[in-house]
Structure 1
Amino acid sequence: KGAISLDSFTFDKIVGGSFDVLVKIDKQYPYGDKEDAWKDFSERIGQLKLPELLLGQVGVQDYGDKMNDDLRERFDVKADDFPVHFLFRKGSTTPVKFTGEVTVEAMSRFLVSELGIYIGLPGCIEALDKIANGYLAAASEERTKLMSQAEAIVAEQKDDANQNSAKFYINVMKKINEKGAEYPLQEKTRLEKLVQSKITEEKKKAMKTKLNILPSFN
């Protein structure tokens, strides 16, 4: 449960091995909202018990022996940018940098998008996520069947929040049929810009729910 501490000696024993590893490079004693989000995120991932994913953290000392500063330099991280998060896929030491907002939801979306793992994000409905997961690759006839299955699940939703989420899955499926396989990525880019703009918190929350759902169409 939680993240394991990595240093200059242990880093290459873990990264590049048989696990996907998300690594946080940060100052030695971090604090604040981003650190709180990382701790909450680590706890959530730990609870999921995902067998092929590890979370690691590197604490960089900026005085004395400058412990782990070699890792900061190796990955071209500036201290002013702390914390920086990198995903290393199993068998690889080439990092994929996380560039989103440091929140539980955004980091979870990143892992869903990059690794295709299932993390039940707020607003997501597991049965619809499974349908969405195969939708892009499905032929026209198969998409019709998947759409019917999805509509049946929408009809089962009782509360308004779930209904709204479920309807968004259907909307994305229709848009994919109209605009092509690039639609989920295009919509993700559009919504990410909107979330950063001056909109009400209520609208922002609705946008974030949609952003949680979109990686299911991978």
Structure 2
Amino acid sequence: MYWTFAYLFFLFIISSKAHTPGTVTVDILTFDKIRNNFDAVLAKFDDKYPFGEKYDQFKRFAINVANSKNLVVVEIPITDYGEKENEMLALEYGVKKEDHPVYKLFLKGKSKPIDYTGDKTEDDLRRFLSHNTNIWFGFPGTVEEMDRLAEQFFVASSNNDENTQKSLLEKAHEAFKKLVDKKEQMSGKSYIKIMESVIKQGSDFFKREGRRVENLLKGKITNEKKQELQHRANILLSFQSLTVTTDKEL
């Protein structure tokens, strides 16, 4: 009797992990229906009952992007026993069990998915989507319009295009005037200060400032100061995030 109860309880716990909040679980019969009706579909090929740090990262990611427009995150559970669930999908997209979890981005109108090759963390997954779609995934302390300008500013800085840099700085000032929320205003000032510093000191400022903020975060600081610095680090990523994409494409 005890072992029967324990076994049933174990099955209940395991089954509760079969679905991740913020995602849609699909199979070979439903995947194309989802894929063809959304602008962007991020598919995770994985064990049916995943666990561990990589899964914890994915859970946080899925919850935080659940309300994003034109994006759906799907889970494709794969088993190598019994009916071998979704084995054909795994074969079709070249997914191997030893690589789980495997992420692929399907964009509407594109015949082939974009393979994700970065670290399997929440931040890197959001960065990957930001690079390959027009969907904005804001980190704490960032502002969407400022992020768009930051990306353009980074490109101009990489090309030593001072005229475009100054033009974008002017646009940042105009965008700042429209901010009403006090927290966004504080963030807006950070974007502007970073742009001004890069124009004066060159694009190396991105790395120097990043290291400075990182070192400060490692020290003994108040929770308020830690949050302020983390927001600045996130804002710097809005400029630096394209570094990863640019390097890989060269």
Calculate the TM-score normalised by the size of structure 2.
Answer: 0.62
Q: Which amino acid aligns with 2:53?
A: D
Instruction: State yes or no: 1:210 paired with 2:239.
Output: no
- What is the identity percentage for the equivalent residue pairs of Structure 1 and Structure 2? 29
Q: Which amino acid aligns with 1:37?
A: Q
**Residues 17 and 127 of structure 1: CA distance in aligned 2, closer, same or farther (over 3 Å):** closer
Q: Which residue of 1 aligns with 2:61?
A: 41
Q: Please point out which of 83, 88, 91 is paired with 1:73.
A: 91
Q: Which amino acid aligns with 2:95?
A: V
Question: C-alpha displacement at 1:132, in angstroms?
Answer: 2.5
Distance 1:210 1:100 in 2: 19
Unpaired runs of at least 5, structure 1: none
Question: C-alpha displacement at 1:75, in angstroms?
Answer: 1.2
Unpaired runs of at least 5, structure 2: 1-20, 220-229, 246-250
Distance 1:95 1:9 in 2: 18
1:35-77 residue CA offsets vs partner (Å, 9 max, x unmatched): 11111111111134x1x11111100011111010111111111
Distance 2:217 2:165 in 1: 35
Larger radius of gyration: 2
CA contact (8 A) 1:17 1:92 kept: no
> Counterparts of 1:96-175 in structure 2 under 5 Å?
96-135=114-153, 136=155, 141=163, 143-150=165-172, 153=176, 162=187, 167-171=193-197
1:99-122 residue CA offsets vs partner (Å, 9 max, x unmatched): 111221111111111102211114
Instruction: State yes or no: 1:30 paired with 2:30.
Output: no
> What is the CA RMSD across the aligned residues, in angstroms?
3.8
1:96-147 residue CA offsets vs partner (Å, 9 max, x unmatched): 111111221111111111102211114533342132345448x865542322
Question: C-alpha displacement at 1:78, in angstroms?
Answer: 1.3
Distance 1:129 1:208 in 2: 10
**Residues 97 and 170 of structure 1: CA distance in aligned 2, closer, same or farther (over 3 Å):** farther
Q: Which has the higher contact order (CA 8 A, sep 6+)?
A: 1
Question: C-alpha displacement at 1:14, in angstroms?
Answer: 1.9
Which range moved further: 69-78 or 22-31? 69-78
**Residues 201 and 108 of structure 1: CA distance in aligned 2, closer, same or farther (over 3 Å):** same
**Residues 61 and 46 of structure 1: CA distance in aligned 2, closer, same or farther (over 3 Å):** same
Calculate the TM-score normalised by the size of structure 1.
Answer: 0.70
Q: Which residue of 1 aligns with 2:222?
A: none
Question: C-alpha displacement at 1:211, in angstroms?
Answer: 3.3
1:162-186 residue CA offsets vs partner (Å, 9 max, x unmatched): 56665444455678xx78xxx9xxx
Distance 1:63 1:28 in 2: 11
**Residues 201 and 9 of structure 1: CA distance in aligned 2, closer, same or farther (over 3 Å):** farther
Q: Which amino acid aligns with 1:131?
A: L
Q: Which residue of 1 aligns with 2:33?
A: 13
Instruction: State yes or no: 1:87 paired with 2:105.
Output: yes
